[in-house]
Structure 1
């Protein structure tokens, strides 16, 4: 009996520890860091991502606060996501200025043949493992130049990339309410100058969740857009009283489209799963060969079955996606890639297909993201055409006065320099 109780107690402790880890709501602070005297004089940037906030939602669903903010600053007709138009690849493209195949985060789930391991966004251990991430995120760039940074969530902010995390950061969880999160950001900006972060990331998942679950034009999505709109209004009001030179960039990672949930694509019969590792997805499917001799015969059979999707060998993927074999710096794109045609999605038997999806061709209008900017660094009443999201990185570096190696990123300052005050 004692043995059974001891075993049960051990299991209970392990289960409790896992639950605490999964919902870590504590602020993490890296000690011993200070802004240099030079960096204390710099302005501030709050980079806000509203996941799935398609380029047209503010107008379609009357996000009045965001409409006012962009009218007083800068708005782009749209921001083009990197391919694939998925959450993790695009958040990391924005924060590194590199296309996904260039920075290593090629999908929400993918396989690394050199590691012999699978990365999935739901695997907390992998998400916090810096070896999955290439490039230099903006918070790393800032910290390397003795400018403090903070993150209230962002892809890869939990990993010590190049040995560096933001000075202040949170492990992603859904337990901290928006009012508390806003209060934390305000508190950060009330710290003494030597401890005050000048670059802050802030992430809002609500619109993406509603679109996935209920569809783009659902009441729930309208409500989520209004929630985000009110949250940004609360945030700016709270910070305005501090009289600091704070610049806001509000953007999204991708758009969203309503898909055909009734006529989905099964895994093609041409694929022998004994020969390939296939991470689960409803969108693009990567086929990683266990047996390389199977690649070409499988590809040829798939070309015959090619209906509702396109199939590519790694060296045939369209160049405009910056995703083919010559762009795959980390060797993480599949040997064969299957790409569904809108409104089709793959169904590998993993459960009910939700009505809202993204991940399609980044030229598709429904995949377009949002970009607004306002604050003392930006021009007023200024509209620009659509642009690729990799160009946000050099823009933020310019506003903060951070030095970076221009040939080490894909983004170019000249694209967004015109939105800055001279």
Structure 2
């Protein structure tokens, strides 16, 4: 009698479970971080973007995020992947330079130079690998070098001849990273695209070509989600989509007087080293004993602000840098810094103060650990790092971010999004029916 009662209770419990959602056991999900270079926070507002619009309903959207000072590709991306301010991680420009030797190495060449990136701060790839995870990078800045002699498990580095706007190649990159997740069981992969930055520079943020690229990005996101579903990763892969900086229209003659710094300070006589002619951010090393003279002279130049590096506002998180030269110049929004004469051809640019709305950028996130239809207030990009560590269930390296800023994006611990993929749901139903069948056989035998 007692045996029959026990079987009956088990049978009742199994059958009652059929009418309730079953919580999935807690497992570490995978993470894909995607960056679209130069995607300003409002770029999707004047373009038909059905897939980005759908993400608003099915994931987390921030009103915008604020990149670090500097609003440039290499410094900003390295802040995202390390959670450190620029003064801490040391990547202070897109150009690798040595102010003593006057050497300058352009961005794509510097992508393979460990000495520019490896400054004692560990990026997320290495921190995750040191805790037993597998990581990869496709073109993401900083992904192709050694940190303390350790490489990212698998990394592709951007080439000079790589087309930035080839939609077929974009989809191939999606296929590649998803293959790493499925076939090679990677835990973290970062994926970088060079648009809409290039079109923003060449045509300006208001040009129709920029809108075409945003539509292409939207199609790529649609393709990504389609492939995630086809490869049965929906319940196991979290995705974060963000960027490094925004873009603004460069003011040109004859409407304005462009800045030519040599009008205000004799660069040949007073300056040993400079990086100018690259948009809104410039650096200079005066000759010995000439720092005050250079600073005072540049203080009289219009449409810019000059700083002594040692006296920069603390909010910049730049002043403690050992790499920045003594003088930093930041142009007003839309002005570019010409050195001796105007050689600048870009119609759009960045590098301006990160409080400017044109420098703000995007944040989207979706996957099994993220809330749905969640709108976040703006936040600093430095806080993405602890969020990624939380998703990967690893101990973060020292960082300047705070999980309290982004933890509210996530479902409560131990739960996942209510959607259950077809395979998982079918397996759950089969297991449940099999249990009921076995219990019925046991009851009949008794």
Q: Same fold (TM over 0.5)?
A: yes
SS in 2 for 1:53: coil
SS in 1 for 2:238: strand
1:350: how far off?
6.7
**Do structure 1's residue 266 and structure 2's residue 260 form an aligned pair?**
yes
Separation in structure 2 between the aligned mates of residue 118 and residue 322 of structure 1, nearest angstrom: 25
1:100: how far off?
1.1
1:164: how far off?
2.2
1:188-199 matches, cutoff 5 A = 188-191=180-183, 195-199=184-188
Query: 2:36, 2:193 within 8 Å by CA — same for their partners in 1?
Result: yes
1:359 counterpart residue number:
351
2:330 counterpart residue number:
339
How many pairs does the alignment contain?
Answer: 370
1:13 counterpart residue number:
none
Query: 1:54, 1:369 within 8 Å by CA — same for their partners in 2?
Result: yes
Match of 1:56 among 42, 48, 67: 42
1:418 counterpart residue number:
408
Runs of 5+ unmatched residues, structure 2: 1-25, 413-446
1:310: how far off?
1.1
The two structures have a TM-score, normalised by structure 2, of 0.79
Which one is further off, 308-317 or 98-107?
308-317
**Do structure 1's residue 374 and structure 2's residue 366 form an aligned pair?**
yes
For residues 276-318 of structure 1, give each alpha carbon's deviation from its aligned partner in whole angstroms, at most 9, with x where no partner exists: 20024232110123x3211112212222x23111111112222
Larger Rg: 2
1:268-287 matches, cutoff 5 A = 268-269=262-263, 270-274=265-269, 275-280=271-276, 281-287=278-284
SS in 2 for 1:45: strand
Separation in structure 2 between the aligned mates of residue 218 and residue 163 of structure 1, nearest angstrom: 44
Q: CA separation of 1:182/1:272 partners in 2, compared to 1, >3 Å: closer, same or farther?
A: closer
1:188: how far off?
1.2
1:16 counterpart residue number:
none
Match of 1:288 among 285, 289, 296: 285
Query: 1:58, 1:64 within 8 Å by CA — same for their partners in 2?
Result: no
1:101: how far off?
1.5
For residues 344-388 of structure 1, give each alpha carbon's deviation from its aligned partner in whole angstroms, at most 9, with x where no partner exists: 111234734211111111000111010010111111111111000
1:316-327 matches, cutoff 5 A = 316-324=311-319, 327=320
The two structures have a TM-score, normalised by structure 1, of 0.83
Match of 1:298 among 294, 298, 302: 294
For residues 53-92 of structure 1, give each alpha carbon's deviation from its aligned partner in whole angstroms, at most 9, with x where no partner exists: 1111122222220110132110111010100111111011
1:136 counterpart residue number:
122
Separation in structure 2 between the aligned mates of residue 404 and residue 119 of structure 1, nearest angstrom: 33
2:440 counterpart residue number:
none
Runs of 5+ unmatched residues, structure 1: 1-39
For residues 71-128 of structure 1, give each alpha carbon's deviation from its aligned partner in whole angstroms, at most 9, with x where no partner exists: 21101110101001111110111001011121001121254457x464544352x332
Match of 1:395 among 387, 390, 403: 387
1:35 counterpart residue number:
none
For residues 130-180 of structure 1, give each alpha carbon's deviation from its aligned partner in whole angstroms, at most 9, with x where no partner exists: 222231111111111120011111111111122222212112031581232
1:243 counterpart residue number:
232
1:242: how far off?
2.3
Separation in structure 1 between the aligned mates of residue 51 and residue 311 of structure 2, nearest angstrom: 45
Separation in structure 2 between the aligned mates of residue 113 and residue 239 of structure 1, nearest angstrom: 46
Query: What RMSD over aligned residues (CA atoms) do the two structures have, in Å?
Result: 1.9
Separation in structure 2 between the aligned mates of residue 184 and residue 396 of structure 1, nearest angstrom: 21
Separation in structure 2 between the aligned mates of residue 358 and residue 55 of structure 1, nearest angstrom: 13
Separation in structure 1 between the aligned mates of residue 230 and residue 30 of structure 2, nearest angstrom: 15
Separation in structure 1 between the aligned mates of residue 198 and residue 360 of structure 2, nearest angstrom: 17
Separation in structure 2 between the aligned mates of residue 299 and residue 285 of structure 1, nearest angstrom: 13
